[in-house]
Amino acid sequence: MKLCPKCNTSPWPFAVVLFISAVIAFLTWLMLGFAGADLVQSIAGTALAFVAVGATMLHYVLACMKRHCRHAPGRPAPHRHHHGALG
């Protein structure tokens, strides 16, 4: 997925993905430790949780950044929905 240069330079969305993935992996490590899992099972489960959450969130963040980018010339204005007489 290709992003425009202005959207591609910000490290914050990727730092948030890394942070949330690390927190989920840590919680997984703790839960597997409390459950009495072996060391190999704990490492494998933690790595699987980190990769699964990180990949899913990275895909979501990149899709949102591409969809909401307003830097590219020729991009249409955002569509506004009106809901009958109230909108």
pLDDT for residue 63? 87
Burial per residue of 2-20, b for 16 or more beta-carbon CB atoms within 10 angstroms, e otherwise: eeeeebeeeeebeeebeee
pLDDT of residue 72: 57
Q: What is the pTM of this model?
A: 0.71
Q: Which residue has the tokens 């899913």?
A: 56
pLDDT in tens, the chain (87 residues): 566 666 667 788 899 999 999 999 999 999 999 999 999 999 999 999 999 999 999 999 888 888 877 665 655 555 556 666 665
Residue 64: predicted pLDDT: 85
Kindly list the domain boundaries of the chain, sorted by start residue.
Answer: 12-68
Dist. CA 16–CA 61, nearest whole Å:
10
